[in-house]
A and B are shown apart, each in its own frame.
Chain A
Amino acid sequence: MEIQVHDIRKTFDGTAAALDGISLTIRSGELLALLGPSGSGKTTLLRVIAGLEFPTGGSVLFDGDDASHRTVQERNVGFVFQHYALFRHMTVLDNVGFGLAARPRANRPAKAEIRRRAEELLALVQLQGLEHRSPAQLSGGQRQRVALARALAIEPTVLLLDEPFGALDAKVRKDLRRWLRQLHDRTGHTTVFVTHDQEEALELSDRVAIINQGRLEQIGTPSEAYLRPESAFVFDFLGSTNVLPVEVRDGRAFFAGCPVPVADGIEAGDGHYTLQARPCDMMLAVDRQGPGLGGIAEMVRVSLGRVRVDMKVGGLARPIELELPMKGEGWRELQPGQSLRVRIDRYHLFAAP
Chain B
Amino acid sequence: MRLSAPPHPTTPGLRRVSPVTERPATRWLLVVTALVFLLFFLLMPLAAVFVEALRMGIGPYFAALVDPDAIAAIKLTLLVAAISVPLNLIFGLCAAWSIAKFQFKGKSLLVTLIDLPFSVSPVIAGLIYVLLFGSSGWFGPWLAGHDIQIVFAVPGIVLATIFVTLPFVARELIPVMQQSGTDDEEAALSLGASGWRTFLKVTLPNIKWGLLYGVLLCNARAMGEFGAVSVVSGHIRSFTNTMPLHVEILYNEYNFAAAFAVASLLAVLALVTLVLKTCLEARGGPGVSSSGRP
Do A and B interact?
Answer: yes
- Which residues of A pack against B, CB within 8 Å? 13, 50-52, 71-73, 76-79, 81, 83, 85-89, 98-99, 102-103, 150-151, 153-154
Which one of B57-65, B164-172, B190-198 is at the A interface?
B190-198
Do B206 and A88 touch (CB < 8 A)? yes
Do A81 and B183 touch (CB < 8 A)? yes
Q: 16 extra interchain contacts, Cβ-Cβ under 8 A, other than A72-B190, A151-B191? A: A13-B103, A71-B189, A73-B189, A73-B192, A76-B192, A79-B186, A85-B184, A86-B187, A87-B188, A89-B205, A89-B206, A98-B191, A98-B193, A98-B201, A102-B197, A102-B201
CA–CA, A151 and B186, complex, Å: 12
Contacts of A150 in B (CB 8 A): 187, 191
Do A85 and B206 touch (CB < 8 A)? no
9 smallest beta-carbon distances between A and B, as pairs: A99-B191, A102-B193, A85-B183, A85-B187, A79-B190, A89-B205, A73-B192, A72-B189, A85-B184
Report how many residues on chain B are interfacial, defined by Cβ distance under 8 Å. 18
Interface residues of B in 185-227 (CB under 8 A from A): 186-194, 197, 201-202, 205-206, 208
| CB within 8 Å for A154 and B192 given contacts A89-B205, A89-B206, A102-B197 | yes
Contacts of B192 in A (CB 8 A): 73, 76, 99, 102-103, 154
A-B contact pairs, 8 of them (CB 8 A): A52-B186, A72-B190, A73-B193, A87-B184, A87-B205, A99-B193, A150-B187, A151-B190
Contacts of B194 in A (CB 8 A): 73, 102
Q: How far is the CB of A343 from chain B (nearest CB, A)?
A: 49
Do B186 and A98 touch (CB < 8 A)? no
- Which residues of B pack against A, CB within 8 Å? 103, 183-184, 186-194, 197, 201-202, 205-206, 208
CB-CB nearest in chain B for A13: B103
| CB within 8 Å for A154 and B191 given contacts A89-B205, A89-B206 | yes
Do A81 and B188 touch (CB < 8 A)? no
Q: Is the interface of A mostly helix, strand, loop or mixed?
A: loop
CB-CB nearest in chain B for A153: B191
CB-CB nearest in chain A for B189: A72
CB-CB nearest in chain A for B193: A102
CA–CA, A81 and B202, complex, Å: 16
CB-CB nearest in chain A for B191: A99
Most buried by A among B187, B188, B205: B187
Contacts of A89 in B (CB 8 A): 205-206, 208
Q: How far is the CB of A76 from chain B (nearest CB, A)?
A: 7
Contacts of A50 in B (CB 8 A): 190
Q: How far is the CB of B265 from chain A (nearest CB, A)?
A: 36
Do A81 and B191 touch (CB < 8 A)? no
Contacts of A78 in B (CB 8 A): 190
CA–CA, A87 and B197, complex, Å: 13
CB-CB nearest in chain B for A71: B189
Do B205 and A81 touch (CB < 8 A)? no
Do B191 and A85 touch (CB < 8 A)? no
CB-CB nearest in chain B for A73: B192
CA–CA, A99 and B191, complex, Å: 5
Q: How far is the CB of B289 from chain A (nearest CB, A)?
A: 19
Q: How far is the CB of A149 from chain B (nearest CB, A)?
A: 12
Q: How far is the CB of A158 from chain B (nearest CB, A)?
A: 11
Q: How far is the CB of A260 from chain B (nearest CB, A)?
A: 51
CB-CB nearest in chain B for A50: B190
Most buried by B among A51, A99, A153: A99
Picked from B103, B186, B201, B205, the residue with its CB within 8 Å of the CB of A85 is B186
Contacts of B188 in A (CB 8 A): 87, 98, 102
Contacts of A102 in B (CB 8 A): 188, 191-194, 197, 201
CA–CA, A62 and B149, complex, Å: 62
Contacts of B208 in A (CB 8 A): 89
Q: How far is the CB of A150 from chain B (nearest CB, A)?
A: 7
CA–CA, A78 and B184, complex, Å: 14
CB-CB nearest in chain B for A99: B191
Q: How far is the CB of B171 from chain A (nearest CB, A)?
A: 23
Q: How far is the CB of A127 from chain B (nearest CB, A)?
A: 18
Contacts of B206 in A (CB 8 A): 88-89
CA–CA, A321 and B151, complex, Å: 83
Q: How far is the CB of B188 from chain A (nearest CB, A)?
A: 7
Most buried by A among B183, B192, B197, B205: B192
CB-CB nearest in chain A for B190: A79
Most buried by A among B189, B191, B194: B191
CB-CB nearest in chain B for A83: B183
CA–CA, A13 and B102, complex, Å: 13
Q: How far is the CB of A86 from chain B (nearest CB, A)?
A: 8
Contacts of A153 in B (CB 8 A): 191
Contacts of B197 in A (CB 8 A): 102
Contacts of B187 in A (CB 8 A): 79, 81, 85-87, 150
Contacts of A73 in B (CB 8 A): 189-190, 192-194
